[in-house]
Structure 1
Amino acid sequence: MGIFSRFTDIINSNINSILDKAEDPEKMVRLIIQEMEDTLVEVRSASAKTIAAKKDVTHQVNKMKAEAQGWEEKAELALSKDREDLARAALQERAKAAEAAETLENELQIIEDELVKLQSETTQLQEKLADAKSRQKTIIMRQNTVSSRLQVKKRLDSGTVDAAMGKFEQFERKIDDLESQVEAYDVGKRSLKDEFASLETEGKIEDELAALKQKMQGKSKSSNVTAVKSKTKKA
């Protein structure tokens, strides 16, 4: 099983658990990142073990090849000494060593293939983890913003704000009533400024009245003079 299929099972299991418990997205994001980090640690540990296994098998392959080469040299030596029986036995041992080397080489190839896949998946997981961390702040910010908007919507829809505004209007009407009562106490009462202003107004009116009388007297005298002159001319 690849690390991603295993990782997906873990994440899906935990996400379902979170959704069942109605946990918030911020915790879910943290959990996903934590699972990715834990998986990455496990994968790196597995990679280290696989590399160590590759080195061990490589060493065994080289050992079996060297052993096969040694038996071949022994067979040649036996033939040079006219010992076909020893040469035949040496060749049999050489065949066993060569077969063991071939088996180990097949095993080494499997290990190398798995190591390539493991390294590729590790690289992908590192990229996904870096992407998740870069998006974590944005996701949390969006979640907080949406939560705040939801609270505002709930308060608006519940009528709480309208009720509060209604109370403000009641307070304003009470203050208006109090101001009207204060103004009612001042009705009919004249301040010192009012008295002096009244005197100034009365003085102006008296002056205007005197000027008007003088003007009218002037017109009256002018009419009398004109009438006298007219009678004198007729006489």
Structure 2
Amino acid sequence: MGIFSRFQDIVNANINSLLDRAEDPEKMIRLMIQEMEETLIEVRSTSAKVIADKKTLERRMAALTQDAEDWEQKAALAITRGREDLARAALAEQAAATETLELGHNELDAIESHLEDLNSEISQLQHKLDDAKAKQKSMLAREQSARSRLEIRRRFNRDKLNEAFEKFERYERKMDNMEAEVESYDLGSKDLAEEIADLERDEAIDEALAKLKARMDKKDSGE
């Protein structure tokens, strides 16, 4: 468990929360995956060493088992030959081999328990590693999208949009006032066609006035 303990923050990590604290999420994810891969290699290497130790211990235990059986046979042979002293010595050797064998069983149990822990760690880390690789592209896309939206909101927040709209409306109103001022200068003024028409009307009135005066003069003179 010692090898893997310093990587528990990775195994149990909420990757999104790590991204929130990352200045460069792409680099962060890449480093996380690299660290997981390196840890997986280290744990597998440790597992291989423990498996090798287990095989060595099993060979020693097999040899001790054989030794215990051999000493028992020797003790039996010594008894048949009337050599109780040799039989006792052989049984003492058998007892020593059996005691060492019991210690071997305890050590083997500890190794097997360690291997189970390592296998669990490997499985857990492999799952996290596969999950991180599968989510790598989508997480980067989500992060970039979120940053883009955030940047847009920062540049064009509601207050700035309202300010822009107000400026535009003020400018539009200014243009309306300028156009109205220009049009006001045209009020009461006549174009060339209208002035000529007025002249023609004045001339017709003058002619009518002259004719009326002439008729009145003739009437007054008795004609």
Equivalent runs, 1:21-170 vs 2, <5 Å: 23-157=23-157, 159=160
Change (3 A) 1:144 1:161: farther
Between 1:23-32 and 1:120-129, the stretch displaced more is 23-32
1:28 CA drift (Å): 2.5
Counterparts of 1:211-230 in structure 2 under 5 Å? none
Whether the 8 Å CA contact 2:11–2:125 is kept in 1: the answer is no
Distance in 2 separating the partners of 1:95 and 1:145: 74
Q: Residue 26 of structure 1 contacts residue 143 of structure 1 at CA under 8 Å; is this kept in 2?
A: no
How far the C-alpha of 1:35 sits from its partner, in A, is: 1.9
Deviation at 1:109, TM superposition (A): 1.1
The alignment-based identity, stated in percent, is: 51
* Cα separation, partners in 2 of 1:128 and 1:22, compared to 1, 3 Å: closer
Residues 11 and 35 in structure 1, CA contact (< 8 A), matched pair in contact too = no
Cα RMSD over matched residues?
3.7
Deviation at 1:69, TM superposition (A): 0.8
- Aligned-partner SS, 2:23: coil
Q: For residue 96 of structure 2, what is the amino acid of its counterpart?
A: K
8 Å CA contact 1:155–1:161 kept in 2: the answer is no
In the alignment, the residues of structure 2 paired with residue 11 and residue 30 of structure 1 have an alpha-carbon distance, to the nearest angstrom, of 15
Amino acid of the structure 1 residue aligned with 2:26: E
- How far the C-alpha of 1:3 sits from its partner, in A, is 5.5
Match of 2:93, SS state, is helix
What is the CA deviation profile of residues 114-136 of structure 1, one whole-angstrom value per residue up to 9, with x for unaligned ones?
11221122112111111111111
Return the offset for 1:160: 8.8
| Inter-partner Cα distance in structure 2 for 1:66 and 1:57 | 14
- Counterpart CA distance in 1 for 2:149 and 2:108 is 60
Q: Quote the offset at 1:33 in angstroms.
A: 1.7
Residues 3 and 43, structure 1, Cα contact 8 Å, conserved in 2: yes
Q: Deviations over 1:157-202 (max 9, x none)?
A: 3849976x979x98xx7xxx9xxxxxxxxxx9xxxxxxxxxxxxxx
Counterparts of 2:12 and 2:92, CA distance in 1: 56
Separation in 2, partners of 1:4, 1:45: 12
Stretches of structure 2 lacking an aligned partner (at least 5 in a row): 180-190, 192-223
Deviations 1:41-91 (A, max 9, x none): 111001100100000000110111111111111111111110000011000
Paired letter, 2:146: V
Question: Structure 1 residue 31: deviation in Å?
Answer: 2.5
Partner of 1:230: none
Gaps of 5+ in 1: 178-187, 189-235
Q: Structure 1 CA distance, aligned partners of 2:143 and 2:9?
A: 25
Partner of 1:82, secondary structure, is coil
**Mapping 1:179-198, distance limit 5 Å:** none
Q: Distance in 2 between matches of 1:153 and 1:7?
A: 37
Scaled by the length of structure 2, what TM-score is found?
0.65
